[in-house]
A = this chain, B = another copy of it.
Amino acid sequence: MNVSALLTSVGINTGLCAVLLLLYSILRKQPSNVHVYFGRRLASKHLAHNDPFCLERFVPSPSWIVKAWKTSEEEILGIGGMDAVVFLRIVVFSIRVFSIAFVICFLLVLPVNYYGNGEIHHKQISSEQMEVFTIENVKEGSRWLWTHCLALYIITCSACILLYFEYKSISQMRLAHITGSPTNPSHFTVLVRAIPWSSKESYSDSVKRFFTNYHASNYLSHQMVYRSGRVQKLMTDAEKMYMVIKAASIEQNCKPSLMQHGLCGQPADSFNILPSEDGSVSGKSVVNMELGKSTKESAAAFVFFKTRYAAVVAAQVLQSSHPMLWVTNLAPEPHDVYWSNLCIPYKQLWIRKIGTLVAAIAFMFVFLIPVTFVQGLTQLDQLQQTFPFLRGLLKKKYMSQLVTGYLPSVVLILALYIVPPIMMLFSAIEGSISRSGRKKSACCKVLYFTIWNVFFVNVFTGSVISQFNVFSSVKDIPTQLAKAVPRQVTFFTTYVLSSGWASLACEVMQIFALFCNLCKRFVLRNKDDSSSGTLSFPYHTEVPRLLLFGFLGFTCSILAPLIVPFLWVYFVLAYFVYRNQILNVYVSKYETGGQFWPIVHNTIIFSLTLSQIIALGVFGIKRSPVASGFTFPLIICTLLFNEYCRQRFLPIFKTNAAEILIEMDRKDEQSGKMEEIHRQLRAAYYQFTVASHETVASHELCKFECLSHGAKKSSPDPKNVKPGNEPRQRNGSQTVHCDVEENRMK
C-alpha cells in the first residue's frame, strides 16, 4: 500500500464521516426521531419544544458539538452516573497520551524512519510505500535507534503518570460517589445464596433463624427470591396485558396534550414513582409471595440489615463452616438485580463459569475464519492466485486501492457486530447476580476477544491458521512480533480510519434504532411513541473499542508513527460523540460505580508492556544492544508500577471501607433518617412486579403529566415521591429537578 492508497482511504472515511455527521445534525431535529436521539431526555421528561415545520430543521448545524463541549464533568456525573465519567476519562486520557505521542513521534521518530536508510532514493511522497515511514526502513545497526528508545520512554512515563493520577482521581470520585449519593438500599442489603434445604422448615424460616441467631443485633428483615416458573410468567404476562389495556384507555385522554410537547416516555427510575401505587403493587406482590411460598421458594434471599457496616461485615465474613452454604454477597442495587440468575443453585456457579470461559475461548477460535478471509484481502497477489477470475477486476487501480485499503476493515467490522450479543449471552449464563456485573463481565470477554482477533490474529495470521506455531514458541515471541507488527501497521492504520471513524459516525447516527423507528413508523404504521424502550450505555462494546484503539496506538506508535494522527482524530471525535450520546440518548438505569477503571488500567499496562516487548524484539533485529538494554528496565518498572497501583487503589473498587460506612451510618442515625430508611428498605426489592410496575409507573406519570400540563391545577404530592436512589436525581421533588435541568439546557 502506498501513500496515495492511504489518502484514498482517508478521503473516503472523512467524507463518509462528514456526511453522516451532517445527516445526524439534521435528523436529530426531526420530531419523528426524537425517540432515537433523545431517549434519555424523554425519560427525564424535559425537552425543548420543537416547532413542527421550519427551515431550520433541515439546515445542518454544529450545535450538538458546542453543547457536548460545554457540559461540565459534574453535569455528566449527574446525568450519566460515574460510569459515564469513567468512560469519558478513558477518552481524555487517550487524547492526552496520544497528543504527547504525536509530538514525540513526528519530531523524533518519523524523520529517523524516513531517512533511516540512506541508500534508498526517495520518490515522490504520494507514490511512496507506507513501509518507508515505519521502523523497517531503518537500517540494521543504525545509531539512530536511541530515538525510538527515547520515544518509548517518554510515552511510557507520561502514560504511567497520567494513569496514576487518573486512578487516584477516579478512586476519590468513587469514594465521593458512595458517601455523596442518596441512601442506597443495596448498602444495607446482603444477598444470601445456597441456603441449606431442610425438610422441617421453609427456606424463609431458615434464613430468619440463621440471621436472628448469628446477627441478632443487626438483622432487620429478609425477602425471599422466588423461582420464576411458568405460573409466575403467566401471571406477569396477564398483568402486562391488563396494563396495556389500561394504558390504552389512559392514552386516549393523554395523547393530544402529549403530542404538543413531544414527550410521553417512561421514567428511568420507577423506584421514585412506586409508592404512588403502593397499595396495589404490594398487594400484588403479597399474592406472589404467598403463591411462591407454597410452591417455589428458591435458596436465595435478600437480607436487610440495620446499618451499612453490618451489611458489609455479613457480606465479607465467611458465614458457615461449609463454604458452599450461606454464601453472602453485597446485594446489587434494586434496578441492577438480574433476577433470573438469583435462582441458579450456587453449586452450579463454578462449573458455569468454567463452561462459559471454555465456550468463549472456543468462540474466539471459530471466529478466526472471517478474520483470515479479511487478512487475505490485504494481500492482493494471494487473492488473485486463489480466485483467478478476480484478476481483471483487481487490475483496475481504483478497485485495488479500495480492496486493500477499505474492504478488509468493513468485513471485520460487520463480523465483529455479532460478538457483543454472544458475549452478553455467555455472561448471563455465567450467573452474574447484577446487570452491571453481567455487562462488566461481557466487557472483559469482548475486550480479550477484540484484542486477540484484531491484533494477534492479524499479526500472526498465516502461521496461526496453517500451523498454530504461535503457541509453540514463547521465547521467540518478541522477535516474531517485531517482524510481523510493522508489516501489519498499514492494516491497523486503515482499521483506525475505517472502523474507528465510521463506528463513531454510526454511533451518533444510531443507525439500527433509526432503522427500527422508520420501520415502525412507515411499515407498521405504529405511532405509539411510548412503547420504544430507552437504551442503557453499551459499555461492553464501547470500552473494548476505545481500549483496542489505545492498544493499537501504543504498540504501533514508535514503529509506524503515521497511525498516531488518525488515532488522535478518532479520540477527539469520540470525545464529542460520546458526550453527546450520554447527554441525549442513553439512560443509566444501573451502574458499577467506576468498576470499569481497573479493567482499563490493566489493559493499558498490558498495551504498554507489549509495545515494549515488541520494541525489544525490533531492537534485537536491528542489532542495537544499547536500545535493547535500556528497554528491559522499562518493562520491569512498568510492571512494578502496575503492582503498586493494584495495591494502592484496587481494594477500593472491590469493597467499601469500614471507616466510610460507619461515618455514613452515624450521620443517618444522628439526623434521625435511619427509621425512614429501614421502612423503605423492605419495599426496595420487588421480584415479579418489575415489568408491570414500570408500566404502571409510566402511565401514572402520564396521568400526572396530563393533569399538570392540561390544567396546572395540581402539584405532585410530595409524600408520593421518595428520595431517589439514583445519583442523578438528587432533588426531593421532580418539578424542581425538571426546572434545574431546563435551566441547564438554555
Contacts and interface: CB of A to CB of B under 8 A. Distances in A.
Interface string A631-671: 00000000010011001111110111111101000000000
Interface SS of chain A: helix, strand, loop or mixed? helix
Interface string A445-480: 000000000000000000000001001111110000
Give the most central of A323, A354, A476, A655: most B CB within 10 Å.
A323
A643 B350 CA distance: 8
Given A320-B657, A321-B659, 13 more contacts: A316-B317, A318-B655, A318-B658, A319-B657, A319-B659, A321-B657, A323-B651, A324-B648, A326-B659, A350-B644, A354-B643, A472-B473, A474-B474
A474 to B, nearest CB: 5
Nearest to A477: B472
Given A214-B658, A317-B313, A662-B214, A474 B475 contact: no
Best-buried of A214, A354, A640, A649 by chain B (most CB within 10 Å): A214
How many copies of the shown chain assemble into the complex?
A: 2
A407 interface: no
A162 interface: no
**Among all A-B residue pairs, the 3 with the closest Cβ atoms:** A323-B651, A472-B475, A321-B657
Contacts of A662: 214
Contacts of A656: 318
Contacts of A394: none
A68 interface: no
Contacts of A351: 640
Interface of A: 175, 214, 312-313, 316-321, 323-324, 326, 350-351, 354, 468, 471-476, 640, 643-644, 647-652, 654-660, 662
A318 B657 contact: yes
Contact of A651 (B175, B214, B318, B660): B318
Contact of A323 (B316, B474, B648): B648
A643 B659 CA distance: 35
A649 B320 CA distance: 12
Given A321-B652, A658-B318, A471 B468 contact: no
11 contacts: A312-B317, A318-B651, A319-B657, A320-B657, A321-B657, A323-B650, A323-B652, A324-B647, A354-B643, A472-B473, A472-B475
Contacts of A214: 658-659, 662
A72 to B, nearest CB: 25
A448 to B, nearest CB: 19
A658 B320 CA distance: 6
Nearest to A210: B659
Contacts of A350: 643-644, 647
